[in-house]
Amino acid sequence: MHERGPPADVVTYNSLLDGMFNIKQVDKALMLFKQMKESGIDPDMFTYGILIDGLCKGGRLIDAKEIFQDLSVKGYRPNVRTYNIMINGLCKEGLFEEALALLSKMEGNGCLPDAVTFETVIRALFEKDENDMAEKLLQEMVARGLLN
């Protein structure tokens, strides 16, 4: 890319990474991410969201968790979208306790969960017949005014 025209920027890399993950080229996406950093392009929160989402969808939850945990070490503050992606990945693997712990940590870090956060966990709990826990979260969602 660099030899054929203007140098790529973070938006270009984000688009390419997203495309790679969408066609299930997880390893190639990770190599592209490495190349991005080696080229001096700093990833942004959107980049990390793409990585975490792609890794979760690619069955690489452990890698996604590692990247998510590294965010705070690197001085990034995950936003609600990034938390939602990670919580969804945990729920898809049936790791409800971890998802609920992350939901609690999210609030502790000053990032308020939104309707998507709760709906993700509630839907996954209902699918796994964890109805009592789902009902409690549904009541909390109503109490917060996230559900009309």
Task: State which amino acid sits at residue 90.
Answer: L
In the predicted structure, residue 32 carries a pLDDT above the cut 90:
yes
Question: Residue 148's pLDDT is what?
Answer: 65
pLDDT tens, position by position, 49-93 = 999 999 999 999 999 999 999 998 888 899 999 999 999 999 999
Contact 141, 115 (CB under 8 A): yes
Local confidence band at 147 (pLDDT 50, 70, 90 cut-offs) = confident
- The kind and range of the H/E element at 34 are helix 26-38
| Token code pair at residue 26 | 């997880």
Walk me through the domains of the chain, giving residue ranges and CATH numbers. Answer: 10-143 (1.25.40.10)
d(CA 134, CA 40): 45
- Residue 131 CB: number of other CB atoms within 10 A? 11
